[in-house]
Amino acid sequence: MNEIGFDSDKYLKVQGEKISERIKMFDNKLYLEFGGKIFDDNHAARVLPGFRADNKIRLLQQFKEDLEVIFCINAADIEKSKIRADYGISYELELLRLIEKLQGLGILINSVVVTMYHEGNNISHLENLLKERNIKMYIHRPTEGYPDDVDLIVSEEGYGKNPYIETTKKLVVVTAPGPNSGKLGTCLSQLYHEYKHGVKAGYAKFETFPVWNLSLLDPVNIAYEAATADLKDVNMIDPFHLEAYGEYAVNYNRDISTFPILKNILMKITGKEIYKSPTDMGVNMIKQCITDTEVIKKAATDEIIRRYYNILCDYKQKICEEDVVEQSKALMDKLELSLSDREVARVANEKAKEKGSNVLAIKLNDGKIITGKETKLLSCASAAFLNAIKEITGIPDQEYLLSSTVLDGIYKMKEKTSYNTSYSLDLPEVLIALSICSVTNPIIEKAINELEKLKGCDAHASYIIAKSELNALKNLGINLTCEPRM
């Protein structure tokens, strides 16, 4: 069994209380800039064992009666059809996916704001899709004078040019399908209009990482840097917090660098100093819910190594630049970590050398490592998967899970349609074959019912596996790394 180091129930309670406190600080109206993934926060679940991947949506559901959501999306991301690497879909489609999922949970969607709009940006496709769903769309152009001329920014020629989005709830969550979508600008624009309407609303920021009251060198915070290496995010001691309170707090470079501007804008809008530091703006109760620091430390260091492996593979495939590799390696060095610290990788590489073929190893939740090698019949991912399922289900090793009749049909089809010389079954094909065979074989049905036990398992391949197999393993919840070789 995986060890637990985080109390999700406590987190939902204390984080919810913190947000409620922040709402009451203002005129019972809070614009909450909401970063990261609303659904499926798998990074947090890996780094904080016990953190449920759906904690954020559970948290929002606590405020369902007093909550509405504004989505932001950058006009350039719409026009370029920018793709989310984790889901493989455009920001536009991810936006629609999020809207539908939230509406399905009974959460009110106020509108979508297209930010950084320039004349000529083609956003008509999204506009039509939103109209079909009866979702209002607003357009925000670049703010005049930003970031230097605060008097112009906070004026009718600045935020005043943006349309006022009418909201009716105490808590307005401003979120986006990806980073750099204009969430902060939308919050500040709304504050400007709220004050004009006599509503002394407030602003706060919800980010899970970095954790402000863990140390700069805590593996949890370094794991966040590893996850955002391509964005050039760097954790730093918040100098404003240190000066104001004599207390060390961790924040990241972009929030720290923009805080003086944000502070001046908030002062201009509200007429008073609301926050003394960027850390003050956040609502983050993660540390208070950590129950076992050793379990968390191990999980976070595992994540740092995983991220480094992923960056090395990206670099090998020319997906990222060398400076990203260097930054990731520097994070490894901070904690004196090496690739050989990943046990499942050591086993996979040793087996590959011993067998003279590609190998994939899976570390089960009980600590046992199962391997599978590439053969004429199966890819190494398929072999390892079948071996792991047999182990979990207690099926004898000599038992065949796949019907020869079904396999013959698949092989014949591959011979006719594939241009490759190899006809071995990849993992998606094995999963399909299993589902077909389960209709007549109760043992296979039992094995399929046990697939949930693979969720959260670590795995390593001795080479960069095909994207189709990578996605299949990801859908099974397996945390895969690969050797950076083709």
Separation of first and last alpha carbons in the chain: 34
User: Which CATH number does the domain housing residue 399 bear?
Assistant: 3.40.140.40
**Spatial distance between the Cα atoms of 266 and 125, rounded to a whole number of angstroms:** 35
Domain span holding position 364: 342-482
| pLDDT > 90 fraction of the chain, expressed in percent and rounded | 80
Specify whether 277 is located in the same domain as 173.
yes
From 3, 203, 175, 167, select the one nearest 95 (Cα to Cα): 175
Instruction: Give the orientation angle of helix 427-437 with respect to helix 404-417, to 10 degrees.
Output: 140
At residue 395, the 3 state secondary structure works out as coil
The total domain count for the chain is: 2
> Which residues touch 323 (CB under 8 Å, ≥6 apart)?
none
Task: Quote the mean pLDDT of the chain.
Answer: 93
Q: What is the mean pLDDT of residues 66-71?
A: 98
Specify whether 280 is located in the same domain as 399.
no
Please give the single-letter amino acid code of residue 375.
T
Domain membership flag for residue 31: yes
Are the C-beta atoms of 481 and 341 separated by less than 8 Å? no
Specify whether 64 is located in the same domain as 156.
yes
413 has pLDDT over 80? no
Q: What is the mean pLDDT of residues 336-340?
A: 96
440 has pLDDT over 90? no
* pLDDT confidence of residue 86: 53
Specify whether 462 is located in the same domain as 350.
yes
Q: Which long-range contacts (CB under 8 A, 24 or more apart) does 468-474 make?
A: 468/426, 468/427, 468/428, 469/379, 469/381, 469/426, 469/427, 469/428, 471/88, 472/381, 472/426, 472/427, 472/428, 472/431, 473/381, 473/427
* pLDDT confidence of residue 231: 84
Specify whether 262 is located in the same domain as 116.
yes
| pLDDT > 70 fraction of the chain, expressed in percent and rounded | 96
* pLDDT confidence of residue 417: 66
Q: How confident is the model at residue 83 (pLDDT cuts 50, 70, 90)?
A: low
* pLDDT confidence of residue 25: 95
Q: What is the mean pLDDT of residues 416-426?
A: 68
Specify whether 370 is located in the same domain as 459.
yes
DSSP sequence for 93-137: HHHHHHHHHHHHTTPEEEEEEEES--TT---HHHHHHHHHTT-EE
Phi/psi of residue 113, nearest 5 degrees = -110, 120
Domain membership flag for residue 278: yes
Tokens of 368: 């046992």
Specify whether 281 is located in the same domain as 203.
yes
Least confident span in 383-387, 392-396, 459-463, 466-470: 392-396
Residue 36: left if φ>0, alpha if ψ -120 to 50, beta else—which one? left
Specify whether 269 is located in the same domain as 413.
no
Per-residue pLDDT tens over the stretch 377-402: 889 999 999 999 999 999 888 777 77
**Spatial distance between the Cα atoms of 161 and 152, rounded to a whole number of angstroms:** 11
Phi/psi of residue 392, nearest 5 degrees = -65, -40
Specify whether 271 is located in the same domain as 372.
no
Are the C-beta atoms of 247 and 241 separated by less than 8 Å? yes
> Which residues touch 411 (CB under 8 Å, ≥6 apart)?
423
Are the C-beta atoms of 396 and 447 separated by less than 8 Å? no
Domain membership flag for residue 376: yes
Domain membership flag for residue 195: yes
* pLDDT confidence of residue 418: 62
* pLDDT confidence of residue 38: 92
Q: How confident is the model at residue 81 (pLDDT cuts 50, 70, 90)?
A: low
Domain membership flag for residue 322: no
Specify whether 169 is located in the same domain as 95.
yes
Q: Is 346 exposed, middle or buried (0-12, 13-18, 19+ CB in 10 A)?
A: middle
Q: What is the mean pLDDT of residues 286-311?
A: 98
User: Which CATH number does the domain housing residue 106 bear?
Assistant: 3.10.630.10
Q: How confident is the model at residue 78 (pLDDT cuts 50, 70, 90)?
A: confident
* pLDDT confidence of residue 441: 81
Domain membership flag for residue 335: no
Are the C-beta atoms of 322 and 71 separated by less than 8 Å? no
Specify whether 92 is located in the same domain as 188.
yes
Domain membership flag for residue 234: no
363 vs 233, more confident = 363
313 has pLDDT over 80? yes
Per-residue pLDDT tens over the stretch 230-288: 888 899 999 999 999 999 999 999 999 999 999 999 999 999 999 999 999 999 999 99
Domain membership flag for residue 311: no
Phi/psi of residue 74, nearest 5 degrees = -75, 130
175 has pLDDT over 70? yes
Specify whether 204 is located in the same domain as 77.
yes
